[in-house]
């Protein structure tokens, strides 16, 4: 049985990505959890050297939980393109470089895709909840769609402006944040966290 996180718990968000922090805080707000970010606590970013999203999420959550003595929730997510054999995938942030230039990262995706007719793409999110004793629980979410060029919209973050989810006519970058939060890969993983750990 999954461990419960009672109302009033203090939880570390093990991320330094402001876009992810905004989304996860919005998802947690209704559940009476006191949220503090790893960045606000001065925690360093651990090396993410796992070969998959779940492994990297576990690295981040455990590092924060052990360092603070509090439960910690981490997210490792990325943009995967069929024509690029799933790249950038776990390297999604690294494609943006040290300056986090996602306009350049999106251009790199577009350039590497060339003139392929295969525009299928998906976002994956792995959320990991870790406790200071080393216990972890991981939850995966995915949303499928297509790549568009040029990018559209200034909302969201990362690769959002070049991704249209299946069944929608606009990119994540054009969507109202509440609409995106209702359907995103992160929301799908988070729904599992809520069902499992918030009773």
| CATH number, residue 21 | 3.90.950.10
Residue 137 falls inside a structural domain: yes
Residue 2 falls inside a structural domain: no
Residue 15 falls inside a structural domain: yes
Residue 121, C-beta contacts closer than 8 angstroms, at least 6 positions apart:
79, 80, 81, 82, 144, 145, 146, 147, 163
Residue 5 falls inside a structural domain: no
Tens place of pLDDT per residue across the chain (199 aa) = 578 887 778 899 998 777 777 777 777 878 888 888 888 888 998 998 999 999 999 999 999 999 999 999 999 999 999 999 999 999 999 999 999 999 999 999 999 999 999 999 999 999 999 999 999 999 999 999 999 999 999 998 899 999 999 999 999 999 998 899 889 998 899 899 988 887 5
For residue 74, give its domain range.
Answer: 10-197
Answer yes or no: pTM beyond 0.85: yes
Alpha-carbon 129 to chain mean position: 13
Residue 76 a catalytic site member: yes
Residue 98 falls inside a structural domain: yes
Residue 3 falls inside a structural domain: no
Q: Which of 75, 76, 87, 160 is catalytic?
A: 76
Three-state DSSP at 12 gives: strand
Residue 1 falls inside a structural domain: no
Sign of CA dihedral 63, 131, 38, 127: positive
**Number of domains making up the chain:** 1
Sign of CA dihedral 52, 103, 25, 71: positive
Residue 4 falls inside a structural domain: no
Q: Is 47 exposed, middle or buried (0-12, 13-18, 19+ CB in 10 A)?
A: exposed
Q: Give the closest residue to 75 by CA, choosing from 160, 173, 159, 189.
A: 189
């Amino acid at each position: 049985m999954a461990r419960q996180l009672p109302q009033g718990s203090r939880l570390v968000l093990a991320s330094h990505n402001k876009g992810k922090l905004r989304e996860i805080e919005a998802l947690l707000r209704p559940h009476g959890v006191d949220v503090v970010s790893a960045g606000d606590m001065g925690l360093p970013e651990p090396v993410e050297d796992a070969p998959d999203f779940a492994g990297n999420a576990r690295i981040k959550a455990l590092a924060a939980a052990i360092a603070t003595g509090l439960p910690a929730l981490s997210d490792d997510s990325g943009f995967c393109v069929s024509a690029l054999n799933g790249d950038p995938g776990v390297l999604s942030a690294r494609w943006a470089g040290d300056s986090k230039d996602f306009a350049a990262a999106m251009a790199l995706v577009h350039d590497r895709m060339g003139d392929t007719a295969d525009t299928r793409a998906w976002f994956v999110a792995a959320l990991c909840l870790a406790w200071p004793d080393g216990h972890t629980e991981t939850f995966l979410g995915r949303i499928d769609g297509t790549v568009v060029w040029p990018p559209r919209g200034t909302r969201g973050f990362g690769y959002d402006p070049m991704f249209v989810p299946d069944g929608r006519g606009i990119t994540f970058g054009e969507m109202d944040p509440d609409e995106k939060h209702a359907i995103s890969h992160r929301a799908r993983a988070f729904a599992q966290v809520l069902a499992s750990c918030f009773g």
